[in-house]
Structure 1
Amino acid sequence: MTQNENLAALSAAGVSVWLDDLSRERLSSGNLAELVETRSVVGVTTNPTIFQGALASGHAYEAQLTELVSRGAGVDDVVRELTTDDVRNACDLLTPVYDATGGQDGRVSIEVDPRLAHDTDRTIAQAHELWKIVDRPNLLVKIPATLAGLPAITSVIADGISVNVTLIFSVERYEAVISAYLAGLEQARQIGRDLSRIRSVASFFVSRVDSEIDGRLEKLGTEEARGLLGQAGVANARLAYASFERVFGGSNDLWNGLKTAGAHVQRPLWASTGVKNPDYSDTMYVSELVAPNTVNTMPEKTMQAFADHGEVRGDTVSGTADEAQRVFSALADAGVDLADVFVKLEEEGVDKFEKSWNELLEATSQQIDAARQRS
């Protein structure tokens, strides 16, 4: 098998291609392995919505669920075992990538219970639990970038656990995430941990920003507002990358000391890259966000669209901060309350994952009841 040329070109430009999906069926059918071999996939991300969809469809989990029920497992235990088994198996599948890239890629993410998004101590405890259960060095534990999540990120990094920070919408919060990561590394260094073994990505959401801001621009209805449609998501990500370059590009004294001690940069990860507006190019959140030291985690539909007709036009991010800032200044001038946008997006993001998690628990509970009736 050979790699798709478009996705191979994206990888060569410094963008790690990760799949934003995981299921038992993908693993058992060989689909994930095929994507690694033909679509340059070097990582996998999951979230509660993805797991809810995976466990609700098909019969791939039926035998294991029945076995767990026979041992008296409750709904939380069943969900934990099913999901961590999938993630562990995906980690094993991607171990050759992990080894070949020195630990940079070959990563699989699993998220802490979204109901803990505003509870620092319980987030820390569950991050440790997931790290121990999966027991693979190429795991990333996903922690949301809520205000309660920030100190959890620092604590977990300090304990040597690699983290995918999720649900980042604003540049201000992204910069706080970077600070939390550096603080964790500094604590790890002070207690003698090997910093080279700690990795992190910062998942910056893109399409959801356009969806929210475009709705407000349409409501404003002015010619000025309509002229800004579809620009906010990419501009926001480009401003985030400028922050990444400022910190990790050599001008930050704390980072420079950590780098000397073996630390790795916290790569920006472009998340929510499936295009929701049919008027926009279905590959815009890939082709417009090409830059070194980044990750793009894509739904399979977006990945296949890029494989078919995506274009790599070189680095489309570096040096664009001034232009991106002009977009945001114009949005504010047009009447968009940007602070309110980002508060709403974070609240909705947490609520969406919590809703999916509750639906997952409910569906699993029903499957447990059915298994008990069969036995």
Structure 2
Amino acid sequence: MLLDWRDAHMISNPLVKKLKQNLNSHKSILKSLTANELKIVKEIEKRTTIANKNNISRTSAYLEFYLDHQEIDWAFLAHMVSRNAGWNMTDLKGTYLPFLLNEEEQEYFFLFLERCNWLIFQDAYPQLLLYAYCKKENKDYFHLLSHFGVSVFMEHNWRLYYTYKDASLLTVALIINEQHYIEERVIQNAHYKATIMESIDLKVQDWFQLNFILFPTPSRDLFGQSIQQFQLLKERIAIGKSLYSLLFHKDYFSQFLTYAKNTSHTGSRKDYWPDLFHEVNNPPSNHQFYPIIEGCSLVDLTKKIYSPVLVHAWKDIDHTPSKRGDWYKNTNILAYYRKQKKVQPSPVSDSYCQALNKMELAILTKQKFK
């Protein structure tokens, strides 16, 4: 019987208890590799490096994997969230944020978003590819995860999935893993805390509170939720679980998947709302900001919100290698498996437009007192 973490307290489930016992009993044991295992490791490293070029390549890789292995829910969740990361990156060069952030601050924000996106992919994509090898050859290769620096927490979760095929349990584990993985490497990293989380903390809060993670549909309805307290680990995990519940909701999943399959990810918000956004910029000649929208409608039908494609907004980044080390320290982590209150999904298009209107008001206010 498959578990549903949205309807039951998984913390008391036998599979979770088994995970706790495994994590308490031993760590992964590094051993010499066979010729075939070495070949697998090298191939996964190569494919990960190629696909981790930028947000566009990562987002595409997640979807390609999911379409080949639709039993792995997390891959589709990662694809949709990665789309949002790309939209956030291009927002920094779009109509609004350049009026609120100077070029140095834009660069800091981009590097922050890009580093998170890069790190999660660097850790998660080898897990996905290794699973594909296990599935293809009908053999457990999960001991190889340690060679990619993957936490022992995920090694045992993949083994549970391989045995019991519980997609929900695996997805929650991957959400927990990815947020812990970036916690020390980015959120609590001294450099990012100095440049992002503290130096321009109020601007970060304002931006994220007005920002939404959006799941579009072919009919251009937008579902999702606003981001609150992004700097808190438990809140990021809660958001991930809530988004998972929404994305795979029985009434909407097919619409989200159809959108993803039929709409290439460019990083421009025109991807989901071409009537409101455009990838070509027409800035005012006097460099003054003028309102573009009222509600969800354009003030002037000839002028849309500028949202560039990613390749025109930012150059690819050569990342420094991620810090080695296992984030998992104790089984207190299992409390994150507890259920969350179910919420009936509803479109957030109007709320998202209200956020854009608030952004315009902030710019006009700043411009008035400049």
TM range, smaller chain: under 0.3
The one of the two structures with greater contact order (alpha-carbon pairs below 8 A, sep at least 6) is 2
Q: TM-score, normalised by structure 2?
A: 0.28
Q: TM-score, normalised by structure 1?
A: 0.27
Structure holding more strand per residue: 1
